[in-house]
Amino acid sequence: MHEKLSLNIEADKPQDNCAVVGVYSKDANIPGIIVNGLIELNHRGQEGAGIIISDGISFVGKKASGLVEVVFSKRNDDGVIIEDIPQLNGAFTGIGHTRYSTSGTLDELQPFLEDGISVAHNGNLTNIQELKEEFGFPDEIDGARSDTRFALAVIHKMQGSEEEKILAALKKFEGAYSFVFSTKDTLYASRDPHGFRPLVLGKLRNRKGYIVASETSALRRMGAKFEREVKPGETVRINKSGHATIDLDERSDISRCIFELIYLARPDSVVFGVPVMEFRRRIGEGLARHLPENVDIIAPVPDSGRGAWSGVISSEIARESGAMFEEVFYPNKYRNIVSGKLRTFIAPNGRDKAATEKYSVIESNVRGKDIVLVDDSILRGSMARIVRILRAHGARSVHALIAAPPIEHACGYGVDFGTDELVAGKSENRPNNIVDIEKVRIELGLDSLYYISYAELLEAVLGNPVENVPEVFEQNKFCGACFTGRYPVPIDGTVSKIA
């Protein structure tokens, strides 16, 4: 039996701020392809979605709050839910966006459109305050305060053709970005020189044309096959002549976001050339070496811990431990459907309240048991609530294996956590500016706690041993600033992430 007790574990999880897609084809259903892509990328942002398409003469679009399928559907006069996707006869290019935010209004929804150029963006520009001062921009434009809206304004301060304006503005931007731009007749895709965020190029299978998307997981439903990644610093033009690289900015060291692999990306994606599920399974195999003795149950924290958990339980160490591989939480998939919060950790406010709203305990797998939980990361401390609830349901002991090092520092590149809200970032848990795992363990109420090391994390990516030092991330072209505080780009000029 399982006892009803709500617990939204995912309220404690990091969240990327959005996803982008773009399509160019003279003989395909442009809006349909874009919406299908956004549905597959809805895990990257669930508070709103939008598309803009063009037929070479004009633009039409739609954007609204909610999950993608909610935004692009409506009830007809008979009460039947039908598609509500904007149409434009002869449309051959367009872009789309799913949004996550920490605050803001409907004015922040993307894509944005101004004077013949539309834009959607995944990431966070770190010098936007400096650019606002340079160009004398007000605090908001058309009701929007986001870095993306100001990026479009910067583009229109440049000289030349639309393409020349885009390329000139990109040279001014610092930080993390994967942009898609659409003019009336051309699609552009651009990735920042550090390569923080993923962006891939695909070719339509049964039509002439190309797509770009934040992750490979979107390609199949978009009717496309993988061509290649957009390179760090590359801008690609896609038009009637095909696709071509029109700029390649190699001024910076590569700093790919390691959290894309740990949590943000879908498990069926390939990110930075790494199959995500294979990576998470290898992380779990490493965690298995740190299993406590004499445990009864090895369980995932749903759903974020499942990848690492699969690696733990497939290991010889776990099989020989005598532990059972069981679930201790039941996810009620029917809760929060109306509000559209399937990944409710995206709620910008009331995270503690959100942490009481989705999962129930399977008491027969908990009472009288010594339990090991496997999860991808610990951020704000909902693990403490998980432990209290498991103990309230009779757990004898609760241990945790975590597939990421302690997260001690804010991310300035588009993931939604600041230092002041991190358990491992609290000053009382960081005497001498070094995280004290024992203090964190005590705060969370765990009987034991193991965080994966820097070296173990990178070895799961690379397949070879590395030194366990903070510099290991940049040495291997990754960003681990949230763990080490070593920022590849200063984050002082960021704005509050609202789109």
Q: What is the pLDDT along the chain (499 residues), one digit of tens a residue?
A: 444 444 555 656 665 569 999 999 999 999 999 999 999 999 999 889 999 999 999 999 999 999 999 999 988 888 888 899 999 999 999 999 998 764 456 788 999 999 999 999 999 999 999 999 999 999 999 999 999 999 999 999 999 999 999 999 999 999 999 999 999 999 999 999 999 999 999 999 988 999 999 999 999 999 999 999 999 999 999 999 999 999 999 878 999 999 999 999 999 999 999 999 999 999 999 999 999 999 999 999 988 999 999 999 999 999 999 999 999 998 877 665 554 444 433 344 444 344 445 678 999 999 999 999 999 999 887 899 999 999 999 999 999 999 999 999 989 898 877 666 788 888 888 888 888 999 999 999 999 999 999 999 999 999 999 999 999 999 999 999 999 999 999 887 565 554 4
Look at residue 498 in the predicted model and tell me its pLDDT.
Answer: 45
Q: Are 13 and 206 in contact (CB under 8 A)?
A: no
What 3-state DSSP class applies to 376? coil
**pLDDT, position 432:** 82
Which CA distances in Å does 26 have to 29, 85, 240?
Answer: 9, 18, 8
Backbone angles phi, psi at 454, to 5 degrees: -55, -50
Q: How many CA atoms lie within 13 A of 18 on its CB side?
A: 32
Task: Tell me the catalytic residues.
Answer: 18
At 298, which helix (H) or strand (E)? strand 297-300
Distance CA 242, CA 337 (A): 41
Backbone dihedral region for residue 136 (phi beyond 0: left; psi -120 to 50: alpha; all else: beta): left
H/E element, 97: strand 93-99
Chain centre distance of CA 94: 22
Q: Are 315 and 285 in contact (CB under 8 A)?
A: yes
pLDDT value at residue 433: 83
What is the rounded end-to-end Cα distance, in angstroms, of the chain? 43
Rg (CA), the chain: 23
Q: Is 41 helix (H, G, I), strand (E, B) or coil?
A: coil
Task: Please give the angle made by the CA atoms of 163, 164 and 167, to the nearest 5 degrees.
Answer: 85
Q: In one letter, which amino acid is 364?
A: S
Quote the tokens at residue 173.
């931007």
Of the candidates 479, 482, 354, the one whose C-alpha atom is nearest the C-alpha of residue 417 is 482
Phi first, then psi: give them for residue 246, nearest 5 degrees: -110, -10
User: How many Å apart are CA 236 and CA 247, to the nearest integer?
Assistant: 7
**Is there a cis peptide before residue 193, judged by omega within 30 degrees of 0?**
no
Residue whose C-alpha is closest to residue 99's, from 142, 62, 68, 61: 68
> Per the structure block, which two tokens stand in for 235?
């801008």
- Tell me the C-alpha distance between 208 and 498, whole Å: 36
Question: Quick check: 443 and 383 in contact, CB under 8 A?
Answer: no
Beta bridge partners of 270: 275
> What is the spatial distance between Cα 105 and Cα 265, in angstroms, rounded to a whole number?
26
Decide: 118 and 59 in contact? Cβ < 8 Å: yes
Residues forming a β-bridge with 24: 93, 210
| Separation of alpha carbons 140 and 72, rounded Å | 28
